[in-house]
């Protein structure tokens, strides 16, 4: 057991003592009613993160509080780029091009879309994928 190592569970326990009984601990007594499940939301297990784009009146009243905005990490310039350029990702895929017109043949089946059928008109063949 290392005393100098930061322990996130230890910090949580200290905060729980200051704030009083935890709602998670109170829900454990009711777990028998719900088949062993706790009465807590999934989001209760994660710390609340303040978003920089959401403006709240509370942040203006706390002058000592700092708001950290996300700054993407700086990428080393000596590394070879292994990604795909955005321009190449925006191109039309080869399978998305227009297909050639169907040719009549005696040895294949042609599918007709019934939702496009109109009385008195010859149905047009449709590709199936």
- Asked if the structure places residue 34 within a domain, the reply is no
Q: Does 59 map to a domain? A: no
Is residue 13 assigned to a domain?
no
Spatial distance between the Cα atoms of 26 and 38, rounded to a whole number of angstroms: 9
CA distances in angstroms from 80 to 44, 49, 76, listed in the order given: 41, 34, 9
**By residue range, what is the domain housing residue 114?**
103-128
pLDDT tens by residue, the chain, 129 residues: 455 555 555 555 454 444 545 454 444 444 445 555 556 677 777 777 666 555 555 545 556 666 667 777 776 677 777 788 888 787 777 777 777 777 778 887 777 778 888 888 888 776 665
Task: Please give the C-alpha separations between residue 54 and each of 48, 58, 67, 121, in angstroms, as whole numbers.
Answer: 13, 11, 11, 58
Would 49 be classed as within a structural domain?
no
- Say if CB 13 and CB 25 are below 8 A apart: no
Phi-psi region of 20 (alpha: psi -120 to 50; beta: other; left: phi over 0): left
- Structural domain contains residue 7: no
Q: How many domains does the chain fold into?
A: 1
Asked whether residue 98 is assigned to any structural domain, the reply reads no
12, part of any domain: no
Sign of CA dihedral 13, 19, 21, 22: negative
**0.75 exceeded by the pTM?**
no
User: Rounded to a whole number, what is the distance in angstroms from the first to the last CA of the chain?
Assistant: 62
Q: What is the pLDDT of residue 69?
A: 76
Residue 32 lies in a domain: no
């Amino acid at each position: 057991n290392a005393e100098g190592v930061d322990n996130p569970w230890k910090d949580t326990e200290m905060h729980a003592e200051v704030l009083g009984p935890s709602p998670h601990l109170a829900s454990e007594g009711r777990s028998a009613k719900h088949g062993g499940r706790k009465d807590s939301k999934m989001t209760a297990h994660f710390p609340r993160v303040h978003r920089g784009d959401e403006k709240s009146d509370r942040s203006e009243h706390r002058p000592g509080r700092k708001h950290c905005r996300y700054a993407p990490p700086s990428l080393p310039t000596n590394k070879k780029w292994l990604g795909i350029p955005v321009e190449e990702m925006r191109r039309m895929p080869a399978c998305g091009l227009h297909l050639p017109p169907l040719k009549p043949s005696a040895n294949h089946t042609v599918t007709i879309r019934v939702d496009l059928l109109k009385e008195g008109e010859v149905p047009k063949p449709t590709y199936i994928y």
